[in-house]
Amino acid sequence: MPDLMSHASSTASPRFADAERRHLLKTPGLGPIVIERLEAAGISSMATLHRLGVETVVCALCTPGTNLAWRNRRNALQQALTSYLHRSGA
């Protein structure tokens, strides 16, 4: 399992582009806190989410002692990524 935090900068975490952020927020089950958590882990673009894979990201964020609600975000993240890639023609 990759260390997602290695993608984060030592200063402020990079942020999703506004269009990608809006797309994520339109997906039921995804809100600002979910996006902030992704960004804190170094996931700041749909391309990065696609490259790493939703399952890998969710598993990495569900380490022992964290909130298992992330497992419930798997479907929402996959839905957001699939619709984004379809819309962008990727």
Q: Supply the pLDDT for residue 9.
A: 44
pLDDT of residue 70: 75
Can you give the residue ranges of every domain in the chain? 16-88
- The pLDDT value recorded for residue 16 is 97
What are the mean pLDDT values of the chain's consecutive 10-residue runs (90 residues total)?
49 88 96 94 96 92 71 89 88
pTM score, two decimals?
A: 0.79
∠29-15-84 over CA atoms, to 5°? 50
Count Cα atoms within 13 angstroms, Cβ side, for 28.
Answer: 0
pLDDT at 59: 87
Q: Which pLDDT score, from 0 to 100, does residue 1 have?
A: 42
Q: Find the DSSP H helices in the chain.
A: 18-25, 32-40, 46-52, 54-61, 69-88
